[in-house]
Structure 1
Amino acid sequence: MPRIVRFTQYGEPEVLEFVEIDAPEPGPDEVRIRVKAIGLNRAESMWRRGDYVEPVKLPARLGYESAGIVEAIGQNVRHVAPGDAVSTVPAFSMNDYGMYGEVVIAPQHAVVRIADGVTFEQATAIWNPFITSYGAFVESGAVKPGDFVLIPASSSSVGLGAIQMANLVGAVSIALTRTRAKADALRALGAAHVIATDEQDLVAEVARITGGKGAQIAFDPVGGPAFEQLVAAMAPGGRIFVYGALSEAVTPLPMLAVLYKRLSIEGYNLFATTTDPVRQKAATDFIFDAVKKGALTPVITKRFKFDDLVEAHRELEKNQHVGRIVVEV
């Protein structure tokens, strides 16, 4: 019998448990997938702790991104067939579906056929990392060639995706990381500049890099006390995308600086793109094409076996990795 992963209480990785199930039959608009790989996201760690933007209904499944082989399809599914290699795009609530499992059910609108030349592991490392920044940078038209883009939490998979996406559109990526420990790795992975925010003056460094102009874009998943410095480092008319709340501290809003600089602060997530069929197709086509051309490269830093998924979550929460953690099934 195939196994899935669930939890019945919030807490540390140890709350995750394996449960055997009968292989479920897909509904009319669903796809059953024999999973080969799972990509871990920080959102799933927050979900497990009950700290996500959406209330969690216990007992809960979890997982946004998996890749594998289609086993069965519902009667309304036309775009994939049994035997196809597919992956899942974050386009659903984890209260409804969870991709941590040996066999999973996914809604058809979240299932895409994997492009030729893309492996199962790579297919679990491209959607959240690249669609998140694609929507903010490319689809919105916010980032222009020559813009300076601040990227906090730059060693995360989404941060690395944002570095690459900024570079792809001709912007100048400025990776923010707490210490110099990851600086060389970030430069090797494409960051034009790296600022260690615990060791350097963020505002002064941004002024130096930009010739005193400040950054046009910030792409922030952190918030918290550092947000005030982020605002101070922005250019007049700049735009801050807030797509996460990794800091548990209060986020200050320096109103006078925001007003003086005429800054735009925008709450953002990828679901507006992924849940719209036309926008999702444009995003996935763009990303597959860029991956095949080598313009975007999924960064996989560590691999775990499915039986070691709890340990994989422990590794996720150490915040020491650079890139995506993948679980092989």
Structure 2
Amino acid sequence: MVRTVRFHEIGGPEVMRLEAVEPGDPGPGEVRIRVDAIGINRAEALFRSGRYIEPVRRLPSGLGNEAAGVIEAIGPGVTGFEEGQAVSVVPNFSHNDYGVYAERAIVPASALLSRPDGIDAVSGAAVWMPYLTAYGAMVEVGGIRAGDVAVVTAASSGVGVAAIHTAARLGATPIAVTRDHAKRRRLLDEGAAEVIVSGKEDVARRVLELTGGKGAEYVFDAVAGPGVIELARAVAAGGTLFLWGAQSGQPTPYPGFDLGMPALNMRTFTQVEISRNPRLLRRAAAFITSGLRGGAFHPVVDRLFPLEQIVEAHRHMDSGERFGKIVVTVPH
């Protein structure tokens, strides 16, 4: 029996419980890992609260799909991995099917990446989802080029910081948007060319000022909701507004008609477009690993919580006070 986080009802962080659960043996295409560290993502908070893009199909339910650990057992048909290998788990499966909030967890082998040398468990649990999201939207879908301008909202989140790093590495100009003026200096230190404090500044007007009136070729928004109408004003003609989150929890209109039908592209994006495609995941892993080795990329960890404080970890995420990624450690 191993300690495993489950929830028996939909709700806030307090519905999560640590329970003793038999981990079982991996089936075809699966592996069992000893979990050493867990990356906490907003998708998990949305899932346990019943507000995720995928509903909870059964209760009790497990949670979590990003972690780092060591392979303990390999199921039939799995090749390319071995027991004792240090790996990271990337989010490419449903919370309804697997969960890594546990001391040991069974996951599909398709979700595993070998951990690069020099990447410890905490870093291995913090790096992949943010950079996969940034890489997928910016490189594979967006085709961002040197000299382009990329506006990133919710810039102090794990994905936001990874997007700043990725844009800078590609030669683009990252403009960070944050609600908290206290985070401005840190965002500049992480590579933002400019920081706009929403609520104190008109974001669209400031972007237009910074770009000589033409707007940004790309805007990457994690908030969505009615604010996209104003945000779309900052997009250059023919540019793209990517929605990779919906933190507002409000309905999101298409802004094109309100703005007089400009040449505006608008697209949703989730990192599973990359992580569920073996060819694209291989390319993404090569890009991210090279960035880590070269120093252009690095995981930004906000705080560490032990597994027994998983409720506090989620409360901290809900508070909006974090900068970067929250990681939960699993002592053995």
Partner of 2:126: helix, strand, or coil? Answer: coil
Alignment-derived partner of residue 213 in structure 2:
212
Residue 12 of structure 1 and its aligned partner are, at CA, apart by 1.3
Match of 1:167 in 2: 168
CA distance in 1 between partners of 2:170 and 2:157 (Å): 20
For 2:11, the aligned partner's letter is: G
2:5 match: secondary structure: strand
Question: Aligned AA for 2:269?
Answer: Y
Partner of 2:33: 33
1:250 corresponds to: 251
Query: What are the equivalent positions in structure 2 for 1:181-196 lying under 5 Å apart?
Result: 181-196=182-197
Shift of 1:261: 2.4
Match of 1:320, SS state, is coil
Following the alignment from structure 2 to structure 1, what is the Cα–Cα distance between the partners of residues 307 and 250? 34
Structure 2 counterpart of 1:286, which letter? F
Query: What does residue range 1-329 of structure 1 map to in structure 2 within 5 Å?
Result: 1-57=1-57, 58-256=59-257, 260-329=261-330
Q: Would the aligned equivalents of 2:149 and 2:173 in 1 still touch at CA under 8 Å?
A: yes
- Matched letter for residue 23 of structure 1: P
C-alpha distance in 2, partners of 1:259/1:98?
45
1:159-211 residue CA offsets vs partner (Å, 9 max, x unmatched)? 11111111111111011111312111111111111101100111221111111
Structure 2 CA distance for aligned equivalents of residues 197 and 26 of structure 1: 48
In 2: Cα distance, 1:124 partner to 1:270 partner: 15
2:101 counterpart SS class: coil
How far, CA to CA, are the matches of 1:107 and 1:64 in structure 2? Answer: 11
Kindly provide the CA deviation profile for residues 35-61 of structure 1, in whole angstroms up to 9, marking residues without a partner as x.
Answer: 100010011111110100001122211
The 1-side partners of 2:235 and 2:22 are apart by 54
Runs of 4 or more off by more than 6 Å in structure 1?
A: none
- Partners of 2:241 and 2:256 lie apart in 1 by 14
- Report the secondary structure of 1:205's partner residue: helix
CA–CA distance in 1 between the matches of 2:75 and 2:160?
A: 36
Q: Matched residues in 2 for 1:146 and 1:209: separation?
A: 13
User: Normalized against structure 2, the TM-score is what?
Assistant: 0.96
Deviation at 1:253, TM superposition (A): 2.9
The aligned amino acid for 2:224 is G
Q: Distance in 2 between matches of 1:53 and 1:205?
A: 32
Using the aligned pairs only, state the percent identity. 43
Compute the TM-score of the two structures, normalised by the length of structure 1. 0.97
Distance across 2 between alignment mates of 1:258 and 1:136: 24
Once residues 66 and 256 of structure 1 are traced to their aligned partners in structure 2, the CA distance between those partners, rounded to angstroms, is: 42
Give the residue type in structure 2 aligned to 1:18.
L
Measured in 2, the distance between the counterparts of 1:276 and 1:264 equals 24
Is the contact made by 2:176 and 2:187 (CA closer than 8 Å) also made in structure 1? yes
Distance 1:133 1:63 in 2: 20
Amino acid at match of 1:107: P
- In 2, are the aligned partners of 1:235 and 1:261 still within 8 Å (CA)? no
In 2, the alpha carbon distance for the partners of 1:258 and 1:271 equals: 31
Count of aligned residue pairs for this structure pair: 329
CA change 1:204–1:141 in 2 (3 A) is closer
* RMSD of aligned Cα (Å): 1.2
1:137 aligned counterpart, secondary structure: helix
* CA deviation after TM superposition for structure 1 residue 80, in Å: 1.0
Q: Distance in 2 between matches of 1:172 and 1:117?
A: 29
Deviation at 1:256, TM superposition (A): 3.2
What is the Cα deviation at residue 255 of structure 1? 2.8
Amino acid at match of 1:173: P
Equivalent-residue separation in structure 2 for 1:290 and 1:248 (angstroms): 33
Contact 1:232 1:257 in 2 (8 A): no
SS in 2 for 1:261: coil
